[in-house]
Amino acid sequence: MHIKTSDQPIMTLGVGDYQCNWGLHVAGLYETDEQRDEIIFGFFNRGARDGDLQLYCPTERSEEDFRLQFSRQFPDLSDSLDSTGSFQFFSTNDLYFPNGVFSPKAMDIGLNAFFDESQSNGSRNIRASAEMVWALEAIPGREHLFAYESRLNYFIPGKPWVSICMYNIKKFSGALIMRVLQTHPYTISSAGITENPYYQDPNDWLRENAPEFLPENMEQ
């Protein structure tokens, strides 16, 4: 089943029989480890078979556990975990707050640099996913998480990139899940992918909730 999410080329998501388009920012919603893994393993299994560049930031499990479980489920793909440049793991510290403070603007710089480097030898599709429970810890700057999520809607569209930001709805409050919905145009669960009616354009969301993170040409 194809859900048109942009004018970019079509990709197979790996969850159920869904296809969508590249240039997509998705909130992955789950309650159990099994629901989380259905999304994560399906997404990365498909990416490994398609030869995509894959980025994963695990929080609720270790990298070693992911490697073990992935190799057990897909023994024919176990070598893909060690293919140079094909599957890259990041710790939450290294990805989100390498200097001890979470900063949406620093994330912009890092993501743009990573994307430019990834495309330096020709266009390559990118799949990325991270478990966001790290933001429930006392990390300086974590209050800007959703400004970062909103700003991703400037960065991802038009690129050969799909990000699934994984949110455990049993750990995040209802108020925070509403902010998740406001900053992700689509949601995905074990039931599939759906357009999110609560999503707000980043210009509107940032102007109302975090005007200091509006692009400079939109600041008032």
What is the predicted pLDDT for the residue at 108?
95
User: Is the overall model pTM greater than 0.85, yes or no?
Assistant: yes
Q: What is the largest CA-CA distance in the chain?
A: 54
What is the predicted pLDDT for the residue at 112?
96
What is the predicted pLDDT for the residue at 183?
98
Output the average pLDDT for the chain.
93
Question: Dihedrals φ, ψ of 73, to 5°?
Answer: -75, -35
What is the predicted pLDDT for the residue at 172?
96
CATH class of 23-218: alpha beta
DSSP letters, 14-26, are: SSTT-EEESSEEE
Rounded Cα distance between 206 and 183, Å, is 10
Distance of CA 16 to the CA centre of its chain: 18
What is the predicted pLDDT for the residue at 103?
97
What is the predicted pLDDT for the residue at 80?
79
Where exactly are the structural domains of the chain?
A: 23-218
Rounded Cα distance between 115 and 66, Å, is 24
Which pLDDT tens digits describe the chain residue by residue (220 residues)?
Answer: 888 888 999 999 999 889 999 999 999 999 999 999 999 999 999 999 999 999 999 999 999 999 999 999 999 888 878 766 689 999 999 999 999 999 999 999 999 999 999 999 899 999 999 999 999 999 999 999 999 999 999 999 999 999 999 999 999 999 999 999 999 999 998 778 899 999 999 999 999 999 999 997 554 4
Distance of CA 89 to the CA centre of its chain: 13
- Region of 133 on the Ramachandran plot (φ > 0 left; ψ -120 to 50 alpha; else beta): alpha
Rounded Cα distance between 123 and 156, Å, is 15
- The pairing of strands 126-131 and 186-189 is unpaired
Question: 60 near 131, Cβ under 8 Å?
Answer: yes
What is the predicted pLDDT for the residue at 75?
92
Q: Where are the beta strands (DSSP E) in 86-209?
A: 87-89, 126-131, 161-168, 186-189, 192-195
What is the predicted pLDDT for the residue at 218?
54
What is the predicted pLDDT for the residue at 220?
46
What is the predicted pLDDT for the residue at 83?
62
How crowded is residue 215: how many other Cβ atoms within 10 Å of its Cβ?
12
What is the predicted pLDDT for the residue at 78?
81
Q: Where are the beta strands (DSSP E) in 58-160?
A: 87-89, 126-131
